[in-house]
Amino acid sequence: MLTFDNRFLNTLPGDPNPRNHSRQVHGAFWSRVLPAPVAAPQLIAHSPEVAAMLGLGDAQMRSPAMVEALSGNGLLPGMESYATAYAGHQFGNWAGQLGDGRAILLGEAVTQSGPHAGERFELQLKGAGPTPYSRRADGRAVLRSSIREFLCSEAMHHLAVPTTRALSLVLTGDQVERDMFYDGNPELELGAIVCRVAPSFLRFGHFELFASRGESALLRQLIDFTITHYFPHVAAAHAGASERIIAWYTEVCERTAKLIAQWMRVGFVHGVMNTDNMSILGLTIDYGPYGWVDDFDPGWTPNTTDAGGKRYAFGRQPGIAQWNLARLGDALATLGDPSPEALGDALAQFERTYSREVNRIFRDKFGLRDDAGHPDDAGDNEATIDAAFSLLVQQETDMTIFFRTLATAASVDALHAAFYSDAAWQEARPPWQAWFERYAALVARQHPSPDSLAARAARMNAVNPKYVLRNYLAQQVIDAAHQGDHAPISELLDVMRNPYDEQPGRERFAEKRPDWARTKAGCSMLSCSS
């Protein structure tokens, strides 16, 4: 049984217009809207951990009433459905009102017992039909993108990267028309719905919407709501409105910095870091044309829509996050108080937090120490890491395999496994050998005992995953699903549950991208069409 307390709906003003047609919505945070029914819902995968977090067992997950709710065909007692209003900057340009165009909230479930008792989670169907915010689109989602969102939400969680979660994946039995590469070749595809779960789906764009319209009272109301319920420690520590906003915005900057540092740790590229895709809680949100770097290439973007500008490429994510935070700061500045200067000072916290986090993370990934007591440690660590980065970008080198190999590499030849071609390895071996000798000497200096070395390997294996949701692995699962075989979805989810463990018999899931996947759609090239 789920228990609902729909606080967002019950405490913030909504749109009085009950009709579901595309429009500009003013003076409101949400519009009531019912999910549009689907023809033949089928639950094809679910996350047992998310179900348990909500207090749901396996039988409850599979019950007809639950499957109806997860497909938009009916509401469970206590559920109230609505879509929220937000705006955003897309690809650097102001886009005006966007809103939940195909995401419909079902309410806020409050877990009644177990380790998550008292915690509150929004349930949100993605692909459940049109809303007042759908503009000209259909409100639906296709199977391929829904599989990708379902799997990646959970993979990120198990990798310990902050993220929204995915409860379920439902095949709707309806078809959806999509022009995948925007080249005038639309095709009918299978429709699907993911039920996403998070404490809140609020985005930077929610705040930008009210700021852009000069609706200051609503903006203040939203800020108060957010701080009171999601940042209660900020509310407790600061009495004045202006200090509160600064403290809260500073924390949003810190959380976002930590999030991006985690993306860089695991090789995740979001692909569409528009301000409407930035969570106010610092979660990874909206899995669209994301990708995982196979080859360590800071210039790589999975998003074909971004192929020209590469605005959202792997290595640009920190700078873009900072730009997005500045847009949030602009929105807050419309209140007049706090001052733009105070907001600018708070934004500076992003850079400080990011560089501290990313330095720590990469020191850990390389298994180096800053507490070994040698006066040269800091400088030697930095020089060693920088030298590795400049070599890594020269040849196609698999990021995940490279780092995973370092923990146990006895000689430079262990690194061969990370290279995408033997020719590249032959060319790269001499400079890597020079690097490896320096690195091994530094490691020996910092870890003088066998115990210390063993602890180092364990620590490295806890930050360098063996298994990540490689683009081609997700695509293989999608191809199987299109043939009617859904078992590989849960099988891949199961692998991603323990990404830091060796999983005997499952080595194939840790292999570098095969050659056939180099340029295949879905494996290295993804569009926003979903």
Q: Which residues bind Mg ion (CB under 5 A)?
A: 277, 286
CB of 283 to Mg ion, least distance (A): 13
Q: Which partner from the list Mg ion, ligand AMP, none does 102 bind, CB cut-off 5 to 8 Å by kind? A: ligand AMP
- Which residues bind to ligand AMP, rule: CB under 6 A? 98-102, 133-134, 137-140, 272, 276-277, 286, 288, 528
In the complex with Mg ion, the residue whose CB is nearer, 256 or 277, is 277
The catalytically annotated residue of 100, 276, 294, 377 is: 276
Distance in Å, CB of 418 to Mg ion, minimum: 34
Nearest residue to 279 (alpha-carbon basis) of 244, 211, 337, 230: 230
Q: Residue 195 Cβ, how far from ligand AMP at the closest point, in Å? A: 16
**Shortest distance, position 243 Cβ to ligand AMP, whole Å:** 33
- 402 closest CA partner among 473, 489, 460, 479: 460
CB nearer to ligand AMP: pick between 286 and 295: 286
Q: Which residues contact 59 (CB under 8 A, 6 or more apart)?
A: none
Strands 120-126 and 165-178: unpaired
Taking the CA atoms of residue 39, residue 43, residue 47 and residue 49 in that order, the dihedral angle to the nearest 10 degrees is 100
58 a catalytic residue: no
* Residue 282 binding target from ligand AMP, Mg ion, none, CB below 5 to 8 Å by type: none
Instruction: List the structure tokens of 69.
Output: 């709710």
Indicate the burial class of 221 (C-beta count within 10 angstroms; 0-12, 13-18, 19 or more): middle
Kindly state the smallest distance separating residue 167's Cβ from ligand AMP, in Å: 19
Extract the tokens encoding 110. Answer: 């409050």
- Among ligand AMP, Mg ion, none, partner that 140 touches (CB below 5 to 8 angstroms by kind): ligand AMP
Q: How far is the CB of 277 from ligand AMP (least distance, A)?
A: 5
Question: 37 or 101, CB closer to ligand AMP?
Answer: 101
Q: Which residue is nearest to ligand AMP (CB)?
A: 101
Q: Name the DSSP letter for residue 181.
A: T
Q: Could you tell me the CA-to-CA distances from 526 to 145, 263, 287, 298 in Å, in that order?
A: 10, 19, 12, 17
Map 154-172 to HEC letters.
HHHHHCCCCECEEEEEEEE
CA angle at residue 179 from 174 to 180, to 5 degrees? Answer: 95
- Residue 131 C-beta: closest distance to ligand AMP, Å: 7
Cβ neighbours for 173, distance < 8 A, ≥ 6 positions apart: 38, 39, 40, 41, 42, 191
- Looking at beta carbons only, is 213 or 416 nearer to ligand AMP? 213
Distance CA 88, CA 326 (A): 13
* Furthest CA-CA distance within the chain: 71
CA distances from 349 to 203, 252, 344 (A): 19, 10, 9
Residue with Cβ nearer ligand AMP (100 or 208): 100
DSSP letter at 46 equals E
CA distance 461 to 366: 10
Picked from ligand AMP, Mg ion, none, the partner binding residue 14 (CB below 5 to 8 A depending on kind) is none
Residue 231 CA neighbour count, 13 Å, CB half: 23
Q: Are 273 and 312 in contact (CB under 8 A)?
A: yes
Tokens encoding 237: 């520590």
For residue 293, the minimal CB distance to ligand AMP (Å) is: 21
Separation of alpha carbons 450 and 346, rounded Å = 45
Q: How far apart are CA 212 and CA 209, in angstroms?
A: 5
Taking the least distance from each CB to ligand AMP, the nearer of 33 and 98 is 98
Q: Which SS3 state, helix, strand or coil, does residue 201 take?
A: coil
Pick from ligand AMP, Mg ion, none: which does 138 bind, CB < 5 to 8 A by kind? ligand AMP
- In the complex with ligand AMP, the residue whose CB is nearer, 41 or 129, is 129
Query: Which residue, 146 or 397, is less far from Mg ion as judged by CB?
Result: 146
CA neighbor of 102 nearest in space, from 67, 145, 66? 145
Catalytic residues: 276
